[in-house]
Amino acid sequence: MAERKLKFAIFGNQYNEQEVIPYLERILQYLHERGAEANVEPDDFGNADFVISMGGDGTLLRAASRIGDREIPIIGINMGRLGFLADVLPQEIEPTLEKVFAGDYDVEDHTVIECEADGQQIDTVPFALNDIAILKRDTAAMISIRTYIDGDFLVTYQADGLVISTPTGSTAYNLSNGGPIIVPTSNSLCITPVAPHSLNIRPIVINDNMVITLNVESRSHNFLVAIDGRSVKMAEGTQLTIRKAPYVVKMVKQRNRRYFSTLHEKLMWGADYRPLK
């Protein structure tokens, strides 16, 4: 029986085309030589076996949004800077694809969260791989965010905003606001305030099966909800519900690369820049 052709969909960084094109040509040539089918920026990823994301973590987030609940594994090629999600370097393209064809790779499941407004899905894409942030719109006044976990009152945050982060997003906006780094497989979510008014308010980690309910008050009578950076204006009094989505994002991972070594590399943990005496 003939081996089934693998199908790849390629999603690129549209803002950096000149840098991406030479690597795109390499990928297309390699896949052609292996007898695979490749489509660049297809309208529908539905029949692909793998999606190749070429860019930084932002490009990969957009690719994940396009894939939605189809759970097609993503190969993230890092054409950006930090690259927590897109962790395949340009010089590793062919060796990584070789391992994909050989089945020598792991697939890591990443939690997705979704947001409802007054019990209805919001107009934009309601799903986030990284985080959902509730933020003030004006430059002066804080917002009040009354927060419940599975119906139990937690606290009313007086702050510039609130970040609800997945483990994947824990190294993004959550981290810059003093939140903890969460291992991807920990089945947790983190709630982190942005510039809280009270110094005794700290981030809290909860089980990802819990449902978060938020009621927001604002002097400007509206606020922003940013879902993986896609912002939507909401009216004061809107009740937000955030919960785990009914699907995951699947990431192709090289077996010789571990999460903690990525932290050492990307965040320079343990590096000592003090001058030698």
**Which residues does the annotation mark as catalytic?**
57
Per the listing, tokens 């060796």 go with 95
Cα–Cα distance, 7 to 48 (Å, whole number): 5
CB 59 within 8 A of CB 66: no
Q: Which two tokens stand for residue 137?
A: 């719109």
Angle subtended by helix axes 93-102 and 17-33, to nearest 10: 40
Q: Are 241 and 131 in contact (CB under 8 A)?
A: no
Q: Label residue 103 left, alpha or beta by phi (over 0 means left) and psi (-120 to 50 means alpha).
A: left
Q: Measured between alpha carbons, how far is 180 from 191 in angstroms, rounded to an integer?
A: 10
**Residue with structure tokens 């308010």?**
201
Compute φ and ψ for 18, nearest 5 degrees.
-65, -35
Per-residue exposure over 118-155, b if at least 16 CB sit within 10 Å of its own CB, e if not: eeeebeebbbbbbbbbbbbbeeeebbbbebbbeeeebb
- How far apart CA 134 and CA 193 sit, in angstroms, is 9
d(CA 68, CA 110): 12
- CA-nearest of 57, 113, 50, 77 to 248 is 113
